[in-house]
Amino acid sequence: MKNEIHQSRVERRHTQTRSCSTTAPRSAVDLLGTIDRPAPAETREPRRRAVVVNDNLGQLEEISRFLMVHTTFDVAGVAMDGYEALETVGRLRPDLVVMDLRMPGMNGLDATEQLRRMFPSICIIMTSADDGPELAELCRDYGADCFVSKRRLHSDLPAAVQRAFCKH
């Protein structure tokens, strides 16, 4: 009897572990498989491609979902630091990069500066929890087309995307 109870607990624990691991992405790459993409429509204009760069998985997912639902972009790739952003953008050549400012390793400013030199036609929108006109100006000095505070991301990101593409 004790052996059956132990076996039952082991099976239940194993099942719980499997179900938990399939619902939460373990990395930025796993995240793309968990995002519900809009259903394709034949009459809709072709969707452009974006890469989202953020070291916080929750924010990475939030921004990716928001782009795919509220803009004409599909998220083609994600990265969690500036070095990974350079590799991902170089490989995927997206139309848009939404870049977090503060990240470990290479920060968003340095990554943006390098991306601007390597791919001058890519639109880059910088995001940060920090805010202010000085910060927005600094981001533009490093090559970002626009700056959006994370506090106003949902209200300001669609307009920022439009402004960024009007510049190019």
Q: Look at the domain 28-167 and name its fold.
A: Rossmann fold (3.40.50)
pLDDT tens figures, 77-113:
999 999 999 999 999 999 999 999 999 999 999 999 9
Domain limits, the chain: 28-167
pLDDT at 119: 96
**Mean pLDDT over the full length of the chain:** 80
Of 29-33, 46-50, 86-90, the range with the lowest mean pLDDT is 29-33
Distances (CA, A) of 22 to 17, 25, 168: 9, 7, 40
Q: Where is mean pLDDT largest: 39-43, 66-70, 108-112? A: 108-112
pLDDT at 15 over 90: no
Q: What is the pLDDT of residue 23?
A: 39
Q: What angle do CA 95, 167, 154 make, to 5 degrees?
A: 65
Q: Which is nearest to 98 in space by CA: 8, 14, 160?
A: 160
Report the 10 Å Cβ neighbour count for 10: 10
CA 111 to chain centre: 14
Residue 1, both tokens:
């009897």
The span from the CA of 72 to the CA of 62, in Å, is: 16
DSSP states along 155-166: HHHHHHHHHHHH
